Amino acid sequence: MEGNKRDSVRVTVQYLNVEGGEKEKRKIGKHSTTIMEDDDSDSKEYFAVMKSKSYKKNPWQKKRGYGIKLLVIFILISIVVGVALIYYLYNEKRENLELNIRIKFIENERLLKVEDLEHKLLLFARFGSDITTDLPFDCTTNNRLKNLCLIWRKIANLTISHVIKKNIGCYDISWTAFENALKFEDIFEITQESDAWYGGSLSKDQQWPINKKHRSKRLFTTGRYSEALERYWITARGVSLIYTSPYPVEYEVDELSIKLRTNVPANSSISYRICTGKDIKQIHLHTIDTEWAKNGLKHRKLANSKLFNSILWSMEKFCREECNSKKLIKFSRLISKFYSKYRNIINLDNKWEKYIGDFTFDKEKYKNVTNIFSIVKSKGIQTNLELSTYVHIRSDNFAKLPHLFVRDAGGNVPGLCVDNNTYSGVFDMHKASTMWISNTIDRLLKANPIDYISLRGGFVEGLPFEAKFYDDFVEPTTYSKSFSKFGSDMTKIIYVTTIYQNNVFPKAIWLKLSDRNSTYIIATALQLGILGYPFFITGAFHKYHVETEVFIRQIQLVTWMPVMHLGTIPDAVKDDRVHEAFKNCLHYRQTLVLPMLRKLSTNATRRLIPLVRPLWWIAPNDLTALKTYDQFLLGDKFLIAPILNSFQRSRDIYLPEGQWKCLINRKLYNVTTEGLHLKNLAISLSEIAVFERLAR
């Protein structure tokens, strides 16, 4: 039976090396665990041999094992790649949905339309509206979805390229004039009354938004009341416009549109960039990061951060017609009497010289200058001396330094301009001029115990007609850039009165504004923040030209500005209401304003984030916040709603979404996305309406 059983099982025969060197056959069953042998010793011997190092596996079995492993690895890699591809396509689709815009160009009308997915028009731009009515030739060579090229034969060439990054879509538009110089007029128009324009330049009667009032055609350049400007505009619905060319441009603003006119030389180009985002704040931050701070401002510093906790006192109105040493000492005694515990700086405006541009003290007005300034310094008061880049024609320097001045249209003699109702020359800001001014500043600081210097001038408006510059500027406003850069480079200069493209300089400098009606101060401050200039000094508010109540309200407003700048000593005014109001202002300044300014200053310096912000900064989709011009934010924490009229003891206030605490009545307001209108909130003469935004 056992023999039959063995015969019935399929066996394989292998020759095994056994101890003693003899070859012996072993019959191994189909299953490796079954050995069909009666001898138990043979079974043990077999298993010992299977475990020995001398045993080698079948090479085909080894290759088959590697193949399975490679197949598994390939499948895993394919799965990872597939998941990554799906994730990428999903995110690309999601970003396109989040972008939520579509831009169309109508070639025969040269019309660029910016629409959302619901086909609501955000903006349209008509390019070259006055060059020709002929149809163009298409010169596009690649990817018509992202690029477009059109040629008007012997006239001009228009190119458009489209770029999408993250949630921002941008179009770069370029006009090129061919054989002849051309004047291009390009019109950019919003389409809804709920939309609005911001940016551009300052003005004497500053509006917020800027299209609240028509602005007739003018050269887009600096002036006494357009102290700062950038070729940059944004809309309430999240569209930005940047003019990136070096040529002079005229601009006009009306209810819905901005018109830009440029004379373009033959074989030269002008260019724009139009970008769109989900809201106005996102598109503005995009501009900061990609246009102004693209080279990195992480090491940028502020010229003088001590101005935050200083009171800057202007002597101009105190002196009336004439400043002299007696008035300076009297002014310093009054400040010392009432405000000795604060950091005070007396600002000597432009009445300390006999003629503007002398760069020396008038010996009749200021006798023994060193002694006078030592007396002021002994009271713990610092001084700032304001220099001018204008030189009166009666000043000795006008005859001595003709080679340093801006020249007239002929280019041979100094050009004349009007400054303070007198004829003057004006320093060109080339290397020789700035070196002379720098050496003069050093000489003044060595000879007199003066703490700071400031620089007035730099305006393009009012320069000689067709002025010629040493550096032959293509765009006259470059003169203002050179002026503000010189101020930024000088350590002892604490402010300038004109600024252009300073937001990319290694050092941020303060901008001092011309005196304005206080009703335009808030709009001016908001506009400066959008232009990338968070550090500014308002014009001094003066008691002599306004009623006492208006004077009090002006002090309350300036308390919440970056620098407290005053032209009258409040406690010297014989009115108890002024004393009480100013006491409250100083309390707010010390306990709330200064800590917030210090906290915000680094971001303002290195990222150009405004200190004084519009309400839409925390509510970019709130239609009321987008149009509010008489309230502002300090950081994201405090909302300020000042009163600027006499005999007014209440006002309407708008609160955007958030939880707010009124610092007057201590009430809490939980505001939804719809916002909250407070009607006739009671505000006494000694108070200003301030709301603190609480964390939810």
Note whether residue 685 is domain-resident.
Answer: no
40: three-class secondary structure by DSSP: helix
* HSE-up of residue 500 (Cα within 13 Å, Cβ side): 25
CB 511 within 8 A of CB 535: yes
CB 158 within 8 A of CB 171: no
Which of 69-78, 284-293, 304-313, 529-538 comes out lowest in average pLDDT?
Answer: 69-78
pLDDT at 370 over 60: yes
Average pLDDT in the 585-602 region?
A: 95
DSSP element (H, E) containing 650? strand 650-655
Note whether residue 376 is domain-resident.
Answer: no
CB 233 within 8 A of CB 241: yes
pLDDT of residue 53: 45
pLDDT of residue 565: 93
Q: Do 32 and 127 lie in a common domain?
A: no
Question: How confident is residue 313, by pLDDT bands cut at 50, 70 and 90?
Answer: very high
| Residue 151, beta-bridge partner list | 137, 157
Q: Do 46 and 131 lie in a common domain?
A: no
Q: Do 28 and 111 lie in a common domain?
A: no
Note whether residue 38 is domain-resident.
Answer: yes
pLDDT of residue 300: 84
Question: How confident is residue 548, by pLDDT bands cut at 50, 70 and 90?
Answer: confident
Q: Do 120 and 239 lie in a common domain?
A: yes
Note whether residue 67 is domain-resident.
Answer: no
pLDDT at 22 over 70: no
pLDDT of residue 65: 63
Strands 182-190 and 197-201: unpaired
Q: What percent of the chain shows pLDDT beyond 90?
A: 55
pLDDT single digits (tens) 35-77: 334 445 555 554 454 444 444 445 545 555 667 777 777 788 8
Q: How far apart are CA 283 and CA 197, in angstroms?
A: 13
Q: How far apart are CA 160 and CA 149, in angstroms?
A: 7
Q: Do 104 and 45 lie in a common domain?
A: no
Q: Do 235 and 169 lie in a common domain?
A: yes
Nearest Cα residue to 608 out of 284, 138, 246, 156: 284
Q: Do 237 and 138 lie in a common domain?
A: yes
pLDDT at 504 over 80: no
Average pLDDT in the 638-648 region?
A: 94
- DSSP assignment of 484-513: HHHHHH-TTEEEES-EESGGGSSEE-EEEP
Boundary residue ending a domain (51, 66, 87): 51
pLDDT of residue 13: 39
Q: How far apart are CA 49 and CA 19, in angstroms?
A: 9
State the pTM of this model.
0.84
Q: Do 253 and 195 lie in a common domain?
A: yes
Q: Do 274 and 147 lie in a common domain?
A: yes
Domain that holds residue 9: 2-51
336: three-class secondary structure by DSSP: helix
Single-letter amino acid, residue 283: I
Structure tokens at 23: 């070859």
DSSP element (H, E) containing 73? helix 59-99
Note whether residue 545 is domain-resident.
Answer: no
Q: Do 183 and 262 lie in a common domain?
A: yes
Note whether residue 429 is domain-resident.
Answer: no
pLDDT at 230 over 90: yes
CB 622 within 8 A of CB 656: yes
In eight-state DSSP terms, residue 589 is I
Dihedral over Cα of 331, 337, 340, 342: its sign: negative
45: three-class secondary structure by DSSP: helix
Boundary residue ending a domain (292, 313, 347): 292
Note whether residue 248 is domain-resident.
Answer: yes
Q: Which residue has the tokens 């990061």?
A: 289
Boundary residue ending a domain (292, 314, 337): 292
- Beta-sheet strand order (sheet of 417-419): 390-392, 422-426, 417-419
313 contact partners, CB below 8 Å, separation of at least 6: 331, 335, 344, 345, 346, 347, 566, 567, 569
175: three-class secondary structure by DSSP: strand
Q: Do 164 and 269 lie in a common domain?
A: yes
CATH number at residue 122: 2.60.40
Q: Residue 611, class by beta-carbon neighbours within 10 Å (0-12 exposed, 13-18 middle, 19+ buried)?
A: buried
Query: In the chain, how many domains are there?
Result: 2
pLDDT at 20 over 50: no
Helix axes 369-378, 325-339, angle to 10 degrees: 10
- DSSP assignment of 467-490: -B-TT--SSTTHHHHHHHHHHHH-
Q: Do 141 and 243 lie in a common domain?
A: yes
Q: Which residue has the tokens 């010793």?
A: 41
